[in-house]
Amino acid sequence: MARPRVQVRTASEIELIRASSLLVGRTLAAVAEHVAPGVTTLELDAVAEAFIRDHGAEPGFKGYNGFPNSLCTSVNHHVVHGIPNEVPLQSGDIVSIDCGVLMNGFYGDSAFTFEVGEVSPEVRRLLDVTRECLERAIDVAIAGNRIGDIGHACQSHAEAHGYGVVRELVGHGLGSALHEPPEVPNYGRPGNGVKIQAGMVLAIEPMINLGTKKIVQSEDGWTIATADGLPSAHFEHDVVVGEDDVEVLSTFEYIEEVLAAKAS
């Protein structure tokens, strides 16, 4: 069977993906303003949808394969694909907020796991290490390497801290479709998998569990949870592969500005 064709994007296409990716970052920053104990994820979803539409784009997730909302909001032991609801967030929770937009025919897709109030040091460390996994994975997403190098960079760092790396859910190519080839697992062997080429746009998204790597699907048909009920963290960036380096198209800078202002 022929392997699905990997897209190599032109400079103009990359700029359109960059614009969509940056809008996701700005949307997540708008949502960050409202993340607090007592707020519901459905309220956060409304903030995101309004912000996206006000900026001339469409929510990338709403209606995608029947998904009902603009954000995936996954609280505590929920890994990804959580459906926004009316349950208020509580201090000590974490919530992964995954957002996609479609603008000018191209997608952006990024995720950030937020602390709600004060979280435990154990959970704080999980968030830190998951972000480090993302950074290490991005560092090896360079032309000439292979997809397995990305997964290995993520897996080895997470497992060195005793964490579980989700197997069934992966990163992906990104462009005129939300999910394009190749799949980008968060585990793997160096030198294995699809060869990384300049012009490829990848959404790299570690999903790291405090305990087991095993997951279960909730009855709603969407929400993925850890099998042992322990917390999970999730961060995602869109990147474009260059000849000698990799460039991050999405950003957490807007989010971090909001969080710093809230903490001051």
pLDDT at 206 over 60: yes
Tens-place pLDDT, residues 143-153: 999 999 999 99
Q: Is the pLDDT of residue 13 over 60?
A: yes
Q: Are 150 and 124 in contact (CB under 8 A)?
A: no
For residue 62, give both structure tokens. 């709403």
Unique residue bearing structure tokens 């707020």: 39
Q: For residue 101, what pLDDT is reported?
A: 98
- What letter represents residue 224's amino acid? I
Fold entry, domain 11-263: Creatine Amidinohydrolase (3.90.230)
pLDDT at 143 (0 to 100) = 97
Q: Tell me which of 158-162, 204-208, 224-228, 240-244 is least confident.
A: 240-244
Which residues have CB under 8 Å from 260's CB, separation 6+?
A: none
**Tens-digit pLDDT profile for residues 233-255:** 999 999 999 988 999 999 999 99
Task: Decide if pLDDT at 3 tops 60.
Answer: no
CA–CA distances in Å: residue 105 to residues 11, 49, 58, 175, 222: 15, 18, 10, 8, 26
CA distance 195 to 142: 10
**Token pair of 98 as six digits:** 């995954």
- Summarize pLDDT for 77-135 with one digit per residue, the tens: 999 999 999 999 999 999 999 999 999 999 999 999 999 999 999 999 999 999 999 99
This prediction has a pTM of 0.97
Edge-to-edge strand ranges of the sheet holding 207-209: 164-165, 207-209, 232-234
pLDDT tens-digit profile of 28-37? 999 999 999 9
The closest of 31, 150, 30, 172 to 89, measured between CA atoms, is 31
Per the prediction, the chain carries an average pLDDT of 97
Report percent pLDDT > 70 for the chain.
Answer: 98
In whole angstroms, what is the distance from residue 26 CA to residue 246 CA? 22
Domain spans, the chain? 11-263
* Residue of 162, 164, 163, 207 whose CA lies nearest to 184: 207
Confidence category of residue 2, pLDDT binned at 50, 70, 90:
very low
Residue 4: the pLDDT is 63
